[in-house]
Structure 1
Amino acid sequence: MAPTTSHILPWLYWGLWPIHRLFLPLYFSQITIVGREHLPREGRFVLAPKHCSRWDPVILPLVWPYPLRFMTNAIEFGGVQGWFIRRLGAFAVNLDRPQPSSLRHALDILKAGQPLVIFPEGGIVRDQVIRPLRPGLARLVLQLDRPLPIFPVGIAYHPQPQFRARVALWIGSPLWTDPGQERNRKQQAQEFTQRLEAALHAAVLAARKCAQS
């Protein structure tokens, strides 16, 4: 099986950047970002957002002035869309059976000091505040040898993801991994997942309130 790869074409990313920044405020009536000050100015971190629309990965780059890397469902990599997103920093993961090469690539990105976006619900979920989280994200980041900040990000659209909707992104305080603990890794991953689920739930409720106000 071929190794998982991804990269960012600077001319493509920065060529689309002004179009992206101009288009979104024209399409949506209001975009509010709360908690951007929580994010570090540089270095590695993980954004763990709510996933309620295909618009989410389009809007998320607004929170960070530099390119973000995305772990993305493999079904999104077909055709012209796949060509673009692979060259804008996304890489594929099979949500049903994640391949070791995808997980290694995610770790390589973080080890290189780059931020990474992982949707912890594993897909778009509209009928719940958040779907109960699996420990996959926690197991991944706990493999790193240094503490890593994970930021829960609530995303909400009012009345729904559509033209002229109001959008709110609520970035919560970071949850830090503690890989140095001499504990059972499985138990550690479960406990971290529970903390992330509670923090993401709170961030989504805050984002919904903000979008509706």
Structure 2
Amino acid sequence: MTVELTGHQGLPRTDDLPPLPYRLALPLRKVARPYFLRKYKLTIHHEDRFPMTGPLLMAPNHLSLLDAPLLGAIAPRMLHQLGKIEVFGGLQGKFLQRIGQIPVDRSSYDMLAVRKSIQVLRDGRVLNIYPEGTRGPGDFRRIRVGVAYLAMVTGAPILPVALMGTRLPGGDVEGFPPAGSRIDVVYGEPFSVERVPFPRRHSDVQAVTEYIGDVLRAHVKAAVDETGHPLPGWREPKDPDD
């Protein structure tokens, strides 16, 4: 999500927005979770770290098309997820919005997506945002400022999530892993950043973004070490003495 960092006196309004729908997602989750558990060799690590009340920014790495439906099915709480506006066309788009998902135009400052995201957190719900902004190696090498902005203006804690196996080495980011593939989902320890009132300077938001990136990268590395399940294309850093 692209976020403009100037020009807002405090938080944007959300009291004029209609409530985001989500009730249709609840019975779907009951069906989808056992489906994914049957289809894949799925292991969920440290689910006890997932806060069961209050606003939450869930921050997973992003490997494939499977990530969003998988997390939407297995997370202990219902998720509102940000997704690129291109997938919200036609009947699919209507369905995604009926289950509480939020389209975002990544090419511009999408004020409506920002307001809906803040609304989710103000309502004490869970917002799933992919800090990397797009599917890739999943190592949090680069992250966008959206997660830092939302954490700074709302005070919501951030939950790191490491996904391994939703894309196989050499696999297509537009595809799904074959049935029976091993998948690990590793929840990290929630953490918070200081809530910052207006004005939030670009340099401040960038500094918080870098701090969040350090935490997320450390979590992915720890998850790989714990599970022995590498990311697609993961390479151990070379010894500088080699």
TM value normalised by structure 2: 0.75
Tell me, what secondary structure is at the counterpart of 1:52? coil
Mapped contact 1:170–1:206 kept (Cα < 8 A): no
Hey, what does 1:156 align to over in structure 2? Answer: 164
- Aligned mate of 1:140, from 150, 159, 162: 150
1:58 positional shift? 1.3
The answer for unaligned runs of 5 or more in structure 1 is none
CA distance in 1 between partners of 2:167 and 2:128 (Å): 25
Relative distance call for 1:17 and 1:63 in structure 2 (3 A) is closer
TM value normalised by structure 1: 0.84
Q: Which amino acid aligns with 1:179?
A: R
Hey, what does 1:17 align to over in structure 2? Answer: 29
- Aligned mate of 1:199, from 180, 198, 215: 215
What is the Cα-based RMSD across aligned positions, in Å? 2.6
The total of aligned residue pairs comes to 206
1:208 positional shift? 3.8
- Aligned mate of 2:59, from 39, 43, 48: 48
CA distance in 2 between partners of 1:83 and 1:184 (Å): 35
1:130 paired to 2:143: no
CA distance in 1 between partners of 2:76 and 2:39 (Å): 20
Mapped contact 1:48–1:152 kept (Cα < 8 A): yes
Tell me, what secondary structure is at the counterpart of 1:212? coil
Q: Which amino acid aligns with 1:22?
A: P
**Runs in 1 of length 4+ with deviation above 4 angstroms?**
3-6, 180-184
Aligned positions of 1:44-193 closer than 5 A? 44-126=55-137, 129-144=139-154, 147-157=155-165, 160=168, 161-180=177-196, 185-193=201-209
The structure whose Rg is larger is 2
Mapped contact 2:56–2:126 kept (Cα < 8 A): yes
1:212 paired to 2:229: yes
The answer for unaligned runs of 5 or more in structure 2 is 1-15, 169-176, 231-242
How many percent of aligned residue pairs carry the same amino acid?
A: 26
CA distance in 2 between partners of 1:195 and 1:78 (Å): 35
1:181 positional shift? 7.8
